[in-house]
Amino acid sequence: MKRPIRVLVAKPGLDGHDRGAKVVAAALRDAGMEVIYTGLRQTPEMIVEAALQEDVDVIGLSVHSGAHMPLFRRVLELVKEKGLHEVVLVGGGIVPPDDVRALESEGIGKIFGPGTPTPELADWIRDAVASRKGDG
């Protein structure tokens, strides 16, 4: 029996706004995924360590503070350093279009903006995980 997709939802940095992260976590649970929410004020190192310990398929970062570029890049760097090649990294929050393009070109799977329908997010995650694991 195949296990559900495991998603780590994290709030890196000093951003204290977590309503969107909690909504996404609940929606992904409702979509049949296992979700681990790390809570507020996580460092990139804490996030990647939690991803390792929890054996996740996806790391979802939520940033509303404007610090998305260095935070996303540092998590991506640590994911690569730790050899988590099958882990899909996604993001959400207020990210300007030019930054979205830059982050996605650097290896962030996808950035989802405010108002993204949660079924669209869940479907994208399922497809990306299947593709990374060679199931799709």
The full set of domain ranges for the chain reads 6-133
Output the pLDDT for position 99. 97
Output the pLDDT for position 16. 82
Output the pLDDT for position 65. 86
Q: Which residues contact 18 (CB under 8 A, 6 or more apart)?
A: 11, 39, 40, 62
**Cα→Cα distances 10→55, 84, 98, 131, 136, Å:** 15, 17, 23, 23, 26
Output the pLDDT for position 136. 54
pLDDT one-digit tens code per residue, 94-132 = 899 999 999 999 999 999 999 999 999 999 999 999 998
Q: Averaged over 63-73, what is the pLDDT?
A: 93
Q: Reduced to 3 states, what is the DSSP secondary structure of residue 34?
A: strand
Q: Averaged over 39-61, what is the pLDDT?
A: 97
pLDDT one-digit tens code per residue, 8-31 = 999 998 878 888 899 999 999 999
Kindly report the CATH number that applies to the domain delimited by 6-133. 3.40.50.280
Quickly state the pLDDT bin for 45 (edges 50, 70, 90).
Answer: very high
In the chain, what percentage of residues exceed pLDDT 70?
98
Which pTM was predicted? Answer: 0.94
